[in-house]
Structure 1
Amino acid sequence: MGALRRKTALFGFLLVVSSVTVLKLTDMNRRVIQTMQTFSPSTQSAPEIILFVELNMSVFQTTYSVVAEDFLAPTDAIRPLIPHIIHQTFETVMIPSKLESHIRTVVNMNANWTYHFWTDNAGRNLVKERHPNLLPIWDKYKRNIMRADALRYVVLYEFGGAYLDLDVVAYRSFNRITYKYGCIIPPEPIEHSALLYNMTVLLNNAIMFCQAKHPIMRALLNGLEGTMNHKDVMYATGPIFLTSNFKSYVKECLLNKSVIINNDNSGTTVSYVSGEAYIHDIHVANVAFFNDEIDYNSQEKKFHTTCKNVSDSSDIVRQACGHFLNKAVKRQISPLAFTGHKWVHLWLRSKAEIQKKLNKNISEILSGKTITIF
C-alpha cells in the first residue's frame, strides 16, 4: 500500500483504496471524472471505496445532458433532508415591479413552504448575532452584492432550505428534490462557464438548496475572509468563489473520507460512506432541472462573437458553441425543470436606477400569504 501511495503521488493523482467504483478520464476532457460503476450499499459491509482522480479536481460530467427522466427521489422517504423554507433577499422590502411575477411563482408553486424575506439590515443583524467574526468582512465590502452573496450562505447554513434570487421563477413544486440529497447546487449553463470564463463547470449561487449546518456552507463562510479584498464580485463572493470553494471542499473529502463521485443523467453526486450507509452529500444537478436559460440580455453578442471561429478553441469552448448554436433557434425549457433564471442583473444597475422602480412592498406582493420579513 505504501508503494502504491508513492506511485500515485509521483503522477499527481489520488488513489483511495476501493473495488467498486472506478473513475476514468473521458475523451472530451482528460480532467473530467466519470463513474463507471455505482456503489451499492446493500451488498457491502465496511466497504472500501476506490477513487482514481486528479488532485486538482477541476470538473464533473453530465451537468449539461438532456434529461428524459424526472429528478431522482427516494420512494420511501418520510422526512425531507432539506427543510421546506424559501429564503429571498433584497436591500429593503420595496421590490422592483418587474420581479413581482417571479416571486409569486416561487411562493405559489410551494404553498406549503415557509417563506423568509431578508433585508440588508436584517442580514447584518443575523451576521452580528450568529457569525460576529464575519461582521468586519461584511462592513468592509464596497459593493452591496457582496453582502447579498454572503447573506445567502449564512441563511442556508443557519436555517437550511432554498435560496433563490428574485429573478428566479418556479415552474413546479420543490418538494420532490428535498428527500435525497443534503445539498443541491446547480451549475450555470455551459455557454456561461465555457464562453464567458473558459471553465468546464461554473456553479451558480442564484439557486441553491441545502440542509442547515451543512459543511459546504461552513466552508463558504470560512472562505470569505480570503477573498474579501477581491474587486471582482465573481471571485470575491459570487459563482467563481462558490466553485473554487466547492472544489476545495471535495478535495478535502477525498483526502479524509471514503467518497464516491457518481454521475448519472440527473447530475453529479458527491457521496460518502458512514458505517454501512451510503450518504448523498452534494448534488451538482443537471442544468435542465434548474438553470438552462442563458443570459441573452447582456451576453448574447459575446456568445456569437466567440462562436464565429472556434477552430483553435479548447474542446469545452467548441462543445459550448455547438450547444449554443443548436439551441439558439429554439431554446425550450424542459418540462421537468423546477426553476428558471431570468438574469435581470439588478446588481449591475445603479442605486438611483433601482430606486426609480421600487414601487411595491414584498408584503403587498405576497398579500394573503404567510411570510416572515426579517
Structure 2
Amino acid sequence: MIPKIIHQTWKSSHLPEKFQAYQKTWIMYHPQWEYRFYDDAACRALVQLEFPDWLALYDSCPYPVQRADIFRYLVIASNGGIYADIDMECYKNMEPLLAGKECVFGVETILSPRQTRLLNHQYAERIANCIFAAQKNHPVFNRIMNEVSQRLAEKPAGILETTGPGMLTDVVQKYRKQYDVHILPQINWLPPISADYPNCFPFNLRMYAKHHFAGTWKNENMEAPRLRRRLSGNRPLTLLKNIAKFFYLFFNIRGLYYKILSSPVWKGNLYFRRKNTSQKKGNDAVERMPDHPI
C-alpha cells in the first residue's frame, strides 16, 4: 500500500508565486494526506541521515538537478508516498489512481522509431521522473540507485541519461514485471490539449495532474548556453540554423504519426473527432434530403 504522503522540493523555502499556487492544489485535494516540503538543505540532511552510503555520490553530482533526481528516488524509497515536481498542478485526489498498487510510474512520451534509434534507446515508451509513487522500501529503487551510480561513474554523460528519464526508462522497463511496477499512460499526467476549452476533449477529464514543464533545471547546465553564445556571432550559421529548424519541425510532425498509433491521448482525440464528424455528416444529409410528395 502506498502511504498517504506527498513529497515536493525546491532549492529554498521561498517559492515563486506560480509554484505556491501549484503547491496549494496538492494540499487542497489531499486533506487527509501528510504534505512534506524540502529545500536543498533538508534534502541533503535526509540523504546524510538515512542513506549515508549515497552521500558521497550525492555531493559529487556536478549539477543541482542531478542531486534533486537522486533525492526524489531516495525519499520515496525510505518513506513511500508520492513525489511530484513543484511545477506540477494537481487536479484530483490521487487515491483512485494509486489504489491497489505498490509502485506507479507514468509515460512521459512515446518516441518514434527514428527518435529511438538516434537516441540509442531500447524502449520507445519513455518514463517520466516528474511524478511517481511507491510503497516504502520498494526494490525497484535499489536498481535505480545502482544504475545512477554506474552512469555517473561513466563520464561524460548527459543529465537525462545519468539521473533523469533516460536512465529511469531503462531501469523501470527492464524490471517492471519482476517488481510489479505499474505504468500509467500519458493521459493521466500530461498537460491538457486545447488550453481554451480543455473539457472539449474527453480524455482531458481523466487528467489527475498537469506538468507545466517550467524546466528551471536547464539553466543550471551552462554547457549549451556557452555554446550558443559562441555560435551567435557567426552570421553564416543563420541559414544552417533555419535548415535545422525545418528538419526539427518536419521530424516532430512525422513523429506524431507514431504517437497517434500508440498513445491513448491521441487515440481518444481522434475517436472523439471522428464520432462528431460522422454525426455532423449524418445531420447534414438529413437537412439536404428533398421533400417527396406522397
Using the size of structure 1 for normalisation, the TM-score is 0.52
Q: CA deviation at 1:195?
A: 8.6
Distance 1:212 1:247 in 2: 20
Whole-Å Cα distance in 2 between the matches of residues 332 and 346 of structure 1?
Answer: 31
Matched letter for residue 109 of structure 1: Y
Once the two structures are superposed, residues 161-189 of structure 1 have per-residue CA deviations (whole angstroms, 9 ceiling, x without a partner) of: 01000111111111212321101100113
- 2:5 touches 2:36 (CA, 8 Å); kept in 1? yes
CA separation of 1:217/1:96 partners in 2, compared to 1, >3 Å: closer, same or farther? Answer: same
Q: CA deviation at 1:247?
A: 2.9
* Residue pair 1:189, 1:291 contacting (<8 A) in 2 also: no
Instruction: State the distance in 2 between where 1:142 and 1:350 align.
Output: 10
In 2: Cα distance, 1:213 partner to 1:334 partner = 33
Counterpart amino acid of 2:56? P
> 1:154 maps to what in 2?
74
Q: 1:245 aligned to 2:171?
A: yes
| Count of equivalent residues | 208
- Are residues 1:142 and 2:59 paired? no
Moved over 3 A (4+): 193-197, 330-333
- In structure 2, the CA distance between the partners of 1:344 and 1:157, relative to structure 1 (3 Å rule), is same
Amino acid at match of 1:291: L
Identity %: 26
> Given the two structures, how large is their TM-score scaled by the length of structure 2?
0.65
| Bigger fraction of residues in strand | 1
Return the offset for 1:331: 6.8
Q: Does residue 1:340 correspond to 2:203, yes or no? A: no
Q: How far, CA to CA, are the matches of 2:56 and 2:115 in structure 1?
A: 30
Letter in 2 for 1:127: V
When residues 344 and 196 of structure 1 are mapped into structure 2, their CA distance, relative to the original with a 3 A threshold, is farther
2:25 is aligned to 105
The answer to whether the Cα contact below 8 Å between 1:85 and 1:116 also exists between their aligned partners in 2 is yes
Give 1:94 deviation, angstroms. Answer: 1.2
3-state SS of paired residue (1:205): coil
> Structure 2: which 5+ residue stretches go unaligned?
117-122, 222-294
CA contact (8 A) 2:192 2:204 kept: no
Larger RCO: 1 or 2 (CA < 8 Å, sep 6+): 1
SS of 1:343 mapped into structure 2: coil
What CA RMSD, in Å, does the superposition of the two structures yield over aligned residues?
A: 2.4
Corresponding residue of 2:239 = none
2:132 paired residue number: 208
Aligned to 2:144: 220
Select the residue among 47, 58, 73 that pairs with 1:127. Answer: 47
Q: Any gaps of 5 or more consecutive residues in structure 1?
A: 1-80, 254-269, 271-280, 297-329, 352-374
Tell me by how many angstroms 1:102 deviates.
Answer: 1.3
- In structure 1, the residue matched to 2:96 is 176
